[in-house]
Amino acid sequence: MMTEKFERGCVPSCIDECPKNGINIKTCCNKLNVIDWLSDIKDPLQQNRYVEVRFKNTRKAIFENTAKIELTVGDVVTVESTSGHDVGIVSSIGHIAMLQMKKYKMNNKNIDIKKIYRKAKSHDIIKWKQAIELEKITMQKAREIADFFNLNMKIGDVEYQGDKTKATFYYISEERVDFRQLIKKMAEEFNIRIEMKQIGARQEAGRIGGIGNCGRELCCTTWLSDFSSVSTMAARYQELPINTQKLAGQCSKLKCCLNYELSAYLDTRKHFPKNASKIITAQGNAHHIKNDIFKRLMYYEIHIDGIPVIRSLDIEKVKEIIEMNNKGIYPENIFGNEKSGMRNISYNEELNVDNINRFANKSKNNRRNRRNKNNNSNNNSNTNNNG
């Protein structure tokens, strides 16, 4: 893998697979990787006009190949920039690049698409390496300058342009920041053009990367580029406890994965009866506690002989009981015996389901039983020997 100072979007899962030296890498991993699932299709009419180029971390852009240069994934190219030129690595070509254009919503003819100048030459790559070497030092110095001016902002990443004439500073701030003095001071310090770009916490997590509590790399680093809003209602619909520590991701915002299965839960919840918070039976009033969405069960708490008990009912049974209650009928023996689609749970079992010591008694009993069994076998063997 390339060293950290020359890193351009590599992720830690492929350290052993990436080559140690070089930049023109066709097999190198990268953030927001693009899988060419059309690579086996030989299409002579495949377009080569538009090419996707990746830069540092998750920044990518579509460029027009007006010079009709023969490019492959992994080629280092020199591209047009707002001022000067930039250097990046080709990440997708052909039909996949066209699909990426649709993803970026760049099908509008009025959009100005920048051009690819050429494949990067040796002097382009040398200057590009020099620019990359300055990024970490520049970020540390910029943070010191921001602290000097007491600015409430966090500079999370710095990206130099390939020609080493411009640097983009990505920062996070919860309020409006007046950084005119900061830009003036940094321009004097670094002798380059400065661009400040504000990003959100999710974008910062995607650029920096990390491991989620699921054990995998962050979705915003590996494939997710569109950040849709996530609310606590997504957790409520999925019957998840509202625990901010468990529901928050590395960015301290609600996890994006809360939205992945939400549509399936919403479709299934349509079959659940409404206004079912309380049902009335001959045994008393039963209050709704929670649902098991995919098992189509509803859990109710009812007091039987003065003891609170939580039991489950199938949703069809609940609908039937609600219809009977509307007619003034209170069914009997609903919670009396276990039936199909019905499971009894004691109140203490429900409270202690997550108790960390729930296996302690079982393990002690198992050890005691094994010890008694061994003692009995030893006593029997001694008796046989004496006899």
Give CA–CA dist 146/155, Å, rounded: 8
Pick from 229, 314, 237: which is nearest to 270 by CA? 237
pLDDT digits (tens, 9 = 90+) for 214-251: 899 899 988 888 888 899 999 999 988 888 888 999 89
Tokens representing 278 are 């309380």
Average pLDDT, the chain: 82
Q: What per-residue confidence (pLDDT) applies to 12?
A: 44
Q: What per-residue confidence (pLDDT) applies to 348?
A: 57
Q: What per-residue confidence (pLDDT) applies to 179?
A: 85
The answer to whether the beta carbons of residues 298 and 311 sit under 8 Å apart is: no
pLDDT digits (tens, 9 = 90+) for 247-293: 999 898 999 999 999 999 999 999 999 889 999 998 889 999 989 99
362 pLDDT more than 80 = no
DSSP-assigned states of every residue in 145-159: HHHHTT---EEEEEE
Q: What per-residue confidence (pLDDT) applies to 368?
A: 64
Of 49 and 33, the one with more pLDDT: 49
Pick from 76, 74, 45, 80: which is nearest to 62 by CA? 80
192 pLDDT more than 50 = yes
Of 351 and 370, the one with more pLDDT: 370
Cβ neighbourhood burial of 289 (10 Å; 0-12, 13-18, 19+): middle
Give CA–CA dist 274/276, Å, rounded: 5
For the chain, the residue count is 387
Please check whether the domain covering 127-203 is classified as CATH 3.30.70: no
Q: What per-residue confidence (pLDDT) applies to 376?
A: 61
Pick from 76, 67, 113, 72: which is nearest to 93 by CA? 72
* Domain ranges (residues) in the chain: 4-121, 127-203, 228-270, 278-351
Q: What per-residue confidence (pLDDT) applies to 191?
A: 92
Q: What per-residue confidence (pLDDT) applies to 366?
A: 64
- Give the confidence band of 313 by pLDDT, cuts at 50, 70, 90: very high
> Which region among 204-213, 275-284, 378-387 has the lowest average model confidence (pLDDT)?
378-387
